[in-house]
Chains A and B, each alone.
Chain A
Amino acid sequence: MKVLKVSVILIAAILITIGLSGTAKAFHSGGVAECEGCHTMHNSFEGAQMTINALPVGTTNAYLLKGQDQSSTCLNCHQHAGDTGPTGYHISTADADMPAGTAPLQLSPGGDFGWLKKTYSWVPRTGAATEYSYGERHGHNIIAADQGYVADSIITAAPGGTYPAGTLSCISCHDPHGKFRRLNDGSIVNGTATSKPIRSSGSYATSPDPDVNFAVGVYRLLGGIGYEPKSNPGYAFGANPPAAVVPSAYNRTEATTQTRAAYGLGMSEWCANCHTNMHNDAYPTNLRHPAGNASKLGATISGNYNAYVKTGDLSGLSTASYLSLVPFEEGVADHTVASYTTLKGHAVNNDTQLGGPDAVNANVNCMSCHRAHASGWDSMTRFPLGNEFMTVADGLGAPIYPDPTANPAQAMGRATTEFQKALYDRPATKFAAYQRVLCNKCHAKD
């Protein structure tokens, strides 16, 4: 009897252990997640509809989705009402948590989609017309009906391309099934006959490397060559995801230390899947700002970047010049493990890797100026462009962020706390008083 009791206790302990350990892994793990996380098979169980729509039992929502639309399904996990600050994998702030005068909370490198709901207005000086910074100008206008995100009311297609704004959703960029994978020979493949199983995400500095047996997921489950969602065919991608990694803790304040996403190769080429004509390696052949693998910074621009500390201060050193408000692409050679080893060494959040661009390999890319999801500024830039100044000065000449009453032209309708949050919590003292906009990080005209 005693043996039986001990056995029962042992079995219970094992069951509890199994139940409680090893389960807290990311849902996607670099590839396709649990199917039932997003889909329902028949929309019915014992005669009861699992989701409700105009269809009879036994049929389903479009694409067998449990959610109203693709992005609503994603945001069921990636947004949570009640967040008090940057939280793990959340990339959107609920309306309840960002009343007027309060910024969205998430601080991932891609940015918080909540900025799309923040419209600002201001009168820059007495007698002047009211100016606006509309929410829909702050990012990619994904459609997520449940969370209140709607299509862009002005722009009907991707700037520089033809991708229709009316179908823009999370899966326009991210492959929800995560089929694209990175192999140990440096290739990126799409689940072909010669590919290997994805063992893990490949997006983090802590991610394992692919080996002879296993692949890892591409950066952020982005779509690769040939990717076109079933919901929006006809816009197949021509470029693979970039070589890039982020620190494991990437959604965080940068009040004291920066979050360095290490971009290596191909970011702009990937953005050009939709924004085709925005991409440009050939300045001054055409008159667009360069962005791409071949848009090398060169000695002059990289020299400016490394020397630039703030307006009026070009005393910086290349060992400490990195600024996450103006990140550069390192220009690694390829997607091999060796290239990722370099990037992983730089993807930190503790300011131990603040090295700036070199004069040979580093290049400008779309992310140098823009955030991928949304930002606090027009055109989803990382820093404000609406006024020449980012800061003003207090009575002692110290830098402060502009006050919407005292400095309406500079504040552009934002409360000082919103202004600071849009710069990822940096204190104004990181800049000069009357700091000029950060185009000068590369161009040093101030």
Chain B
Amino acid sequence: MNKLTYIRSKTSTLLAIFSMIFIATSLYAEKLTASYLYNLSDFKGTINYSWPRLSADSGKNEIYVAYQSYVRIFNDNGMEIYRFEGTDFGSIYDLTVDNDGNIIILSYKGENYLITLCNFRGDPKSKIELKDIPTEYTDMHPNRLIYRDGFLYLADFASMKIMVTDTNGLFKNGYDISALLGFDKDKEEAEDAGLGGFSIDSKGNIAFTIPVIARAYLLFPDLKIISFGKRGSTQGKFGVTGGITADDKGFYYVADILRCVIIVFDKDFNFQTEFGYRGFKDKNLIAPTDLAIDGRGRIYVTQGRNRGISVFNINYRIDQNNEEVIPNKDNFISTTRNLQNQEINLKRN
């Protein structure tokens, strides 16, 4: 073996080792991927609208979508199964589903908002009147409503206030995000801020985004706040932050309206992956804004340009410590337990 051949051989070996390390590192680093499934549809095809509101019933894996005065309900295959028009409600702004399958609707008639408890068909059962609201929360104009563990969370994106009541409307807690972050109400910063997304994670923490700061936040019950993400145009960075949601494994998903991606962070807020990107293919997104995630790890994304709601499947991977990161719902099968670096395909029974 001459010197040249020896060097070539060693170089090839080194390159092969580096390649393997690179591939292995990539696989370890990326705990999940997302793949496009379909858009929510009826029997005529994709339902085209821009930026409707949506809510996931994780128990039944049904998706509820509100647009203007209509509510559409989609089954776990993304097909519309029921629709009702809430003529009594005015403009429907948001909706959520309680543990009994009742639909709770937030709507506006003129300047006044209503919270209405409906049965699963959308028939109004009762109005939820808010009670014992402290003065500093009486001027709220909520545009988001989430039911979680017996409580209703109402968020006013403009004033950056969040109010928590029980299901009878009795005030339990309130959060003035602007004050918690130390914004000066007399200056432009309070005027120009505002929330871009809001959700409750599986531990009851409040996740939210502020678009003008290009940052996402997690508010804990003890009023501690953690922020994550920063502005930029490269992967994992924020342009204009929109909706935020979390799955039951601690991953946080943030919609970036400007960059047209969904950015995923792990429970320690380390960037994991992003997907979507502006474009007109099925897998692409145009100005994604709101997010919901069901119990199977399917994420639902609203967007503009009348592109409706895109649905992506989250494929979880096993992490470096051989700890499985698998869904904890019983109606899924993990096909590759205890195998490193293999994707766990989530399939319904």
B-binding residues in A (CB < 8 A): 16, 19-21, 23-27, 34, 36-41, 45-46, 48-53, 66-68, 72-73, 76-77, 80-89, 94-97, 99-100, 102, 145-148, 201, 204, 206, 248-249, 417
Contact = CB atoms under 8 A, between A and B. Distances in A.
A40 B233 contact: yes
Contacts of A102: 91
Given A82-B143, A82-B144, A24 B183 contact: yes
A81 B182 contact: no
B120 to A, nearest CB: 23
B110 A417 contact: yes
Contacts of A50: 233-234, 259, 277
Interface stretch (B71-79, B189-197, B311-319, B333-341): B189-197
Contact of B213 (A23, A36, A81, A417): A23
B233 A41 contact: yes
15 contacts: A26-B188, A37-B258, A39-B233, A48-B235, A52-B277, A66-B233, A67-B258, A67-B278, A68-B278, A77-B211, A82-B51, A82-B143, A96-B49, A147-B50, A148-B305
Contacts of B142: 84
A20 B113 contact: no
Contacts of B196: 80
Given A24-B213, A48-B235, A147-B304, 16 more contacts: A20-B225, A34-B231, A36-B231, A37-B231, A39-B233, A45-B234, A50-B259, A52-B281, A67-B258, A68-B278, A76-B257, A80-B157, A81-B290, A82-B157, A84-B143, A148-B306
Nearest to A102: B91
Given A24-B183, A85-B158, A96 B212 contact: no
B31 interface: no
Contact of B91 (A23, A49, A97, A248): A97
Nearest to B94: A82
A20 B226 CA distance: 9
B296 interface: no
Interface of B: 49-53, 67-69, 91, 93-94, 108, 110-111, 113, 141-144, 156-158, 181-183, 187-194, 196, 210-215, 225-227, 231-235, 237, 239-240, 257-260, 277-281, 284, 286-287, 289-290, 302, 304-306
B239 A66 contact: yes
A21 B182 contact: yes
Nearest to B210: A24
3 closest Cβ contacts across the A-B interface? A52-B279, A81-B51, A99-B68
Nearest to B113: A84
B212 A146 contact: no
Given A88-B158, A95-B49, A20 B181 contact: yes
Nearest to A97: B91
Contact of A248 (B51, B182, B188): B188
A83 B187 contact: no
A96 B188 contact: no
A250 to B, nearest CB: 9
A206 B188 contact: yes
B231 A84 contact: no
A85 B141 contact: yes
B68 A96 contact: yes
Contacts of A26: 188-189, 192, 212
B193 A46 contact: no
Nearest to B225: A20
A397 B232 CA distance: 60
B225 A83 contact: no
Contacts of B257: 76-77
Nearest to A255: B111
A393 to B, nearest CB: 22
A36 B232 contact: yes
B35 to A, nearest CB: 15
B181 A24 contact: yes
Contact of B215 (A23, A36, A84, A201): A23
Nearest to B237: A36
A72 B50 CA distance: 13
B72 to A, nearest CB: 13
Nearest to A50: B233
A52 B275 CA distance: 12
A46 B113 CA distance: 47
Contacts of B157: 80, 82-83, 87
B285 to A, nearest CB: 10
B348 to A, nearest CB: 30
A121 to B, nearest CB: 19
Contacts of B289: 80-81
Contact of B93 (A68, A77, A82): A82
Nearest to B303: A146
Given A96-B53, A148-B50, A248-B187, A36 B192 contact: no
A84 B141 contact: yes
B47 to A, nearest CB: 13
Given A36-B232, A145-B305, A19 B279 contact: no
B160 to A, nearest CB: 10
Contacts of A34: 231
Contacts of B231: 34, 36-37
B289 to A, nearest CB: 6
Nearest to B178: A24
Contacts of A48: 235, 277
Given A20-B181, A24-B213, A51 B279 contact: yes
A100 B189 CA distance: 34
